[in-house]
Chains A and B, each alone.
Chain A
Amino acid sequence: DGGITQSPKYLFRKEGQNVTLSCEQNLNHDAMYWYRQDPGQGLRLIYYSQIVNDFQKGDIAEGYSVSREKKESFPLTVTSAQKNPTAFYLCASSTSGSVEQYFGPGTRLTVT
């Protein structure tokens, strides 16, 4: 089945530790995105990548880093510099030239 996978579903970390969230897609999509959801707020764009080895900051990139070494993979690292890392993180992808995005199931990160 084609789709987007995010792992793990739940992730717990201690404050001060970096943590990497996985996002993999087998849809052959060129573009990939990372969003964050907080209670009572809409999804906010963290980073996006239109092609391999290229990515751009979204609206709330501070404290996060990404890489795009493979077309299928777009991991997100939440660094210790992110002041409020506890949130629900969604990954999405789309074909080049299409605005429709397909979402993964998300990872809920809790940092204590």
Chain B
Amino acid sequence: ILNVEQSPQSLHVQEGDSTNFTCSFPSSNFYALHWYRWETAKSPEALFVMTLNGDEKKKGRISATLNTKEGYSYLYIKGSQPEDSATYLCASGKGSQGNLIFGKGTKLSVKP
């Protein structure tokens, strides 16, 4: 994998459904994996930064896992709410200087 890839591209779920997205990234020379939430008309907001293989992070109903050996990360949302509707971006860090390679994002729509 040469680029950061996210799937699915978009997702429509009902309120209360749990969902998950995938981010694949180059496993060689891995430095850090970022997840951002980007709501319409707002700035992208950092959710998680993960660096260690096997790392799991949680913020409320949102959690993420990291597998640096195989180059993937999952983002989980438990009991989706309409306010979770946003584009979720994944980015792989290229080094300590903070340069990031972004995926195209997964657009989540949660219907009430």
CA distance A55 to B32 in the complex (A): 22
Tell me whether B44 and A103 are in contact (CB under 8 A).
yes
CA distance A15 to B104 in the complex (A): 28
B81 CB to closest chain A CB, in angstroms? 23
Tell me whether A94 and B98 are in contact (CB under 8 A).
yes
Tell me whether A4 and B93 are in contact (CB under 8 A).
no
Q: What residues of chain B lie closer than 8 Å to A48, measured between beta carbons?
A: 97-99
Chain A stretch 62-112: residues in CB contact (< 8 A) with chain B: 90, 94, 97-106
Q: What residues of chain A lie closer than 8 Å to B103, measured between beta carbons?
A: 42
Interface assignment of A11: CB less than 8 Å from any CB of chain B = no
Tell me whether B102 and A44 are in contact (CB under 8 A).
yes
Tell me whether B32 and A99 are in contact (CB under 8 A).
yes
Interface assignment of B29: CB less than 8 Å from any CB of chain A = no
Q: What residues of chain B lie closer than 8 Å to A58, measured between beta carbons?
A: 99
A28 CB to closest chain B CB, in angstroms? 16
Tell me whether B43 and A101 are in contact (CB under 8 A).
no
Mask: chain B, 101-112; 1 = CB below 8 Å from A; 0 = not? 111110000000
Tell me whether A100 and B96 are in contact (CB under 8 A).
no
Tell me whether A101 and B104 are in contact (CB under 8 A).
no
Tell me whether A90 and B44 are in contact (CB under 8 A).
yes
Interface assignment of B77: CB less than 8 Å from any CB of chain A = no
A-B contact pairs, 11 of them (CB 8 A): A31-B98, A42-B104, A43-B91, A43-B102, A44-B102, A90-B43, A99-B32, A101-B34, A103-B45, A104-B43, A105-B43
Q: Which 6 residue pairs are nearest across A and B when measured between Cβ atoms?
A: A42-B102, A43-B102, A103-B43, A103-B44, A99-B32, A42-B104
